[in-house]
Amino acid sequence: MIPLFEAYPRLQNSLPFISLGEFPTPVDHLENLGKKIRTPNLYIKRDDLSGVDYGGNKVRKLEFLLAEAIQKNAKEILTFGFAGSNHALATGVYAKKVGLHSTSILLSQPNARYVRRNLLLSYVNDIELHHFQSVPHCVLAIVGKMMQSFGRNKKLPHIIPPGGSNPLGAVGFVNAAFELKNQIEEGLIPEPDEIYVALGTMGTAVGLMIGVQTAGLKSRIIPVRVVDRSNASEKGLAKLYCSTAGLLHRLDPSFPLLAITPQEITIEHQYFGEQYAKFTGKGMAAVQVVQETEGISLEGTYTGKTFSALLDHASTQNFGQKTILFWDTYNSRDFSSKIQDIDYHLLPKEFHGYFESDFQPLDVNH
């Protein structure tokens, strides 16, 4: 049974859930890097290994979101993201696994190696891809897609929001905090003082905040914003926090009714750089130091920027004996053998530009 259901058994009867990943994910001590930055109690939560078919933070959300789709007898999934979206890819990979067709409506973004990899992997996993330059174009495509799907199935497609971040998706990370609590009790990691996590569509950070509070952990969540301010704000975070906590309390009144105001939230805004998915010098330096000292591969859009906040704070605040946990949200499994023989011309032609134009500066090998 998953840790959240062990703590709140009534939720098991009311929340849709399907097991898709490999949990608990390991917690590792980053001894080499910890020594280097004078933070001996530096740890990493390996959600990069959360799934055999595709890892990263979206698997925990999909265990609830796809279970809901199955419960509602959905025939098709529709979701959204930027061209290199790990979320859209993870959704399609696991939708296929449970027998559902999925479509990704994707927006343009700065080019990077991982964009190519994710697009080719989407192709291999039979995900239907559409690319647009702007949100208004997407809206038209979404309406068209819904009508087409309705014509086929006499049923609208099941919509999963960008990043899988609605209250149900965020519950995946409430559960993750209870999983961490078990690992603390097993002596695998001291109770973290601070947990650094990337802040995109916010479901990950929100779920962890509610989870550590309810599980009685002292850990403070440090969300590091890696998307535009209009998509990740104190106000938006407070709203998702309250709606997620409200959902859990409604389904099991013994789950405490938590609430938070925007004024009580601190987001790290400084590490975003110029634009979503545009790599920063500090972010790429962080990717490099984690690779060199620990052999763990981060990337420039989410985890590198987040780790750069941790590194900055290590040098300015002096963590001393504090236990600092970095929550790794990026898939690290290598699927290159699956895509090495795929010709990008098989993708819709709107995507060919990513294979025919240069990578952005700073993209060395990530």
For ligand PLP, the binding residues (CB under 6 A) are 56-57, 86-87, 163, 165, 198-205, 302-303, 329-330
**20-to-28, 51, 54, 64, 94 alpha-carbon distances in Å:** 22, 7, 10, 10, 7
* CA neighbor of 272 nearest in space, from 318, 239, 310, 305: 305
CB of 165 to ligand PLP, least distance (A): 5
CB of 90 to ligand PLP, least distance (A): 8
User: Which residue, 41 or 200, is less far from ligand PLP as judged by CB?
Assistant: 200
CB of 227 to ligand PLP, least distance (A): 8
CB of 10 to ligand PLP, least distance (A): 26
| Total residues found in the chain within this entry | 366
CB of 181 to ligand PLP, least distance (A): 20
User: Which residue, 219 or 303, is less far from ligand PLP as judged by CB?
Assistant: 303
Q: Do 328 and 48 meet the contact criterion of CB atoms below 8 Å apart?
A: yes
294, two tokens: 């620990």
110, two tokens: 């700065």
Q: Do 25 and 43 meet the contact criterion of CB atoms below 8 Å apart?
A: no
User: Which residue, 4 or 227, is less far from ligand PLP as judged by CB?
Assistant: 227
CB of 11 to ligand PLP, least distance (A): 20
User: Which residue, 3 or 56, is less far from ligand PLP as judged by CB?
Assistant: 56
Strands 27-29 and 220-225: unpaired
CB of 199 to ligand PLP, least distance (A): 5
Please give the Cα distance from 62 to 90 (Å, whole number): 8
State the CB neighbour count (10 A cutoff) for residue 254. Answer: 11
Please give the Cα distance from 15 to 175 (Å, whole number): 12
104, two tokens: 């990704």
Amino acid at 318: N
- The residues, ordered by sequence, that sit 6+ positions from 223 with a Cβ below 8 Å of its Cβ are 197, 198, 199, 202, 205, 232, 237, 267, 268
* CA neighbor of 209 nearest in space, from 180, 185, 251, 188: 180
User: Which residue, 39 or 301, is less far from ligand PLP as judged by CB?
Assistant: 301
User: Which residue, 91 or 149, is less far from ligand PLP as judged by CB?
Assistant: 91
Please give the Cα distance from 239 to 262 (Å, whole number): 8
User: Which residue, 254 or 266, is less far from ligand PLP as judged by CB?
Assistant: 266
CB of 349 to ligand PLP, least distance (A): 26
* CA neighbor of 18 nearest in space, from 87, 52, 66, 74: 66
CB of 113 to ligand PLP, least distance (A): 14
Please give the Cα distance from 249 to 109 (Å, whole number): 38
User: Which residue, 168 or 202, is less far from ligand PLP as judged by CB?
Assistant: 202
User: Which residue, 86 or 102, is less far from ligand PLP as judged by CB?
Assistant: 86
Structure-derived torsion over alpha carbons of residues 175, 93, 276, 294, reported in degrees to the nearest 10: 70
Closest residue to bound ligand PLP by CB: 200
